[in-house]
């Protein structure tokens, strides 16, 4: 179980601590940490079952077997709960990438692209709630459209894609020993936005993600990033 650990501060997503003030108070004891994780788990399951509009704090608390007062000790409302879930999803995604990179000794940027898209698709297929809320944007259905007002769930000042792109750039720079610069940051943002659009199309075409469109997504991102990373 991946714990809530992403933090958004000053427009940059970093690891460690309360996710950007999403929690009203940080769970210090193991029992409190387990309660928060249970609430996030049940939130994810309910998103699959009844969608975002049907999600209520009362039902999350009931399913997680915690008093409703305990819910409000940690979360202001369901929006804060969903934000914490999105941050947990992003941390889980990056953990999966790091594990794959280490196990497969990835050293080429094209492999980074393929692994990132494969892991995202796998999470869409298997992670509870991820088809509705992946990294902040709330979808009416797995392939979209997104509900209004959810493009800045992770950070009030940045689109979700900007936060994701920055985290992916950091991971890639550290893995491949590249320089972190503004041009590369912009390239990752464009790549994330493009991949997001094509993958939404893939999941509109097929609930499990159309394999041919997923392959096209990899091809598109590789070709675009080649101008920035091939050297």
Q: What is the pLDDT of residue 12?
A: 35
CA atoms within 13 Å, Cβ hemisphere of 135 = 25
Question: Which one-letter DSSP state was computed for residue 55?
Answer: -
Output the pTM of the full model. Answer: 0.88
The class (CATH top level) of 6-229 is mainly alpha
Tens of pLDDT along 22-64? 776 776 678 889 999 999 999 999 999 999 999 999 999 999 9
Give residue 14's pLDDT: 34
Residues of the chain short of pLDDT 70, as ranges, are: 1-21, 24, 27-28, 231
Instruction: Report whether 131 contacts 48 (CB < 8 A).
Output: yes
Q: Shortest CA distance to 89 belongs to which of 61, 46, 124, 114?
A: 124
Say which DSSP state 13 is in.
Answer: E
Secondary structure class of 146 (helix, strand, coil) = strand
**Biggest CA-to-CA distance, the chain:** 56
Q: Which of 221, 198, 226 is nearest to 121 (CA)?
A: 198
- C-alpha 86/C-alpha 136 separation (Å) is 5
Angle ∠(95,101,105) on CA atoms, nearest 5: 155
């Amino acid at each position: 179980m991946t714990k809530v650990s992403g933090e958004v501060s000053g427009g940059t997503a970093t690891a460690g601590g309360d996710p950007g003030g999403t929690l009203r108070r940080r769970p210090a004891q193991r029992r409190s940490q387990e309660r928060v994780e249970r609430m996030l788990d049940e939130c994810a399951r309910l998103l699959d079952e009844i969608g975002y509009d049907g999600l209520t704090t009362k039902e999350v608390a009931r399913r997680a077997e915690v008093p409703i007062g305990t819910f409000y000790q940690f979360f202001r409302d369901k929006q804060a709960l969903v934000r914490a879930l999105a941050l947990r999803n992003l941390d889980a995604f990056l953990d999966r990438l790091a594990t794959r990179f280490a196990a497969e000794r990835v050293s080429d940027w094209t492999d980074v692209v393929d692994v990132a898209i494969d892991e995202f698709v796998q999470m869409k297929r298997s992670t509870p709630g991820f088809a509705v809320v992946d990294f902040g944007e709330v979808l009416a259905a797995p392939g979209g459209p997104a509900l209004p007002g959810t493009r800045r769930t992770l950070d009030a000042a940045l689109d979700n894609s900007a936060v994701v792109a920055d985290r992916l750039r950091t991971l890639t720079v550290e893995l491949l020993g590249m320089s972190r610069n503004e041009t590369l940051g912009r390239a990752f943002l464009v790549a994330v936005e493009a991949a997001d659009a094509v993958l939404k199309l893939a999941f509109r075409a097929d609930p499990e993600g159309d394999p041919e469109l997923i392959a096209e997504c990899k091809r598109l991102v590789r070709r675009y990033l080649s101008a920035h990373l091939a050297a």
